[in-house]
Structure 1
């Protein structure tokens, strides 16, 4: 049995397949999921697990070189926007409509139970060297 890191076998398996510049999405429970993108649904009730708790665990497991957020998060969800900005560098912002289009290119979407507005992020994988 694993001692640390992602214990969810589906997530761990998907993470093992990621390469440099591949993108994953951590999503709130309302973000539309494109049919062609695999989704691991971690939501078990409204609000749980939170977006920030999953982001923390993912960032502990993956090297991330860039992130994309919907620009609307800055006005409509300041608390989460500030937490994300303190955890990540190299953040770019697009409209929420553009964000939803970008999710179609992701290798994986992780759905949380988060219910606050625009609590979604696209993470671009980096390399360990």
Structure 2
């Protein structure tokens, strides 16, 4: 049995096959997912698993260099937005790298998800709780 934090086989495979600058989306329960993009559906019920728990686990296994969020996230769900920024700050300090953090309109965000290698759907029911991670390198 795998002994590191990430046990989900689909996400472990996704992370293992990411190349530099590939993007993945971690989404709330309501984000539309394009038919041509791989869907990894973790949602069990409202709030399970949470957006932050999912982000936290994915960050344990992947190196990122870029972050994209909808500007509406900060305005409509400021507490969760701030919690994500704090989690990202801890991760930047842990890995000794600085991430590019970009905000776009929610409409632009949805268009950008069309280029994601996969969308990981959580059970989060907080508006605009979505993030795109751009893969970095560990060297």
2:113 alignment partner in structure 1:
103
Q: How does 1:33-48 map to 2 (within 5 A)?
A: 33-48=33-48
What is the TM-score normalised by the length of structure 2?
0.90
CA deviation vs aligned residue, 1:98-118 (integer Å, no higher than 9, x gap): 000000000011000000010
1:18 alignment partner in structure 2:
18
**Unmatched tracts of structure 2, length 5 or more:** 89-98
CA deviation vs aligned residue, 1:38-97 (integer Å, no higher than 9, x gap): 010000011110000000001111001010000001110011111111222421000000
Contact 1:85-1:91 within 8 A present in 2 as well? no
* Distance in 1 of aligned mates of 2:134 and 2:14: 14
Question: In angstroms, what is the RMSD of aligned CA positions?
Answer: 0.8
Deviates more, 1:77-86 or 1:106-115: 77-86
2:129 alignment partner in structure 1:
119
What is the TM-score normalised by the length of structure 1?
0.97
1:32 alignment partner in structure 2:
32
SS of structure 1 residue aligned to 2:30: coil
Greater share of residues in helix: 2
Contact 1:29-1:112 within 8 A present in 2 as well? yes
* Distance in 2 of aligned mates of 1:52 and 1:78: 14
- Tell me if 1:90 matches 2:100: yes
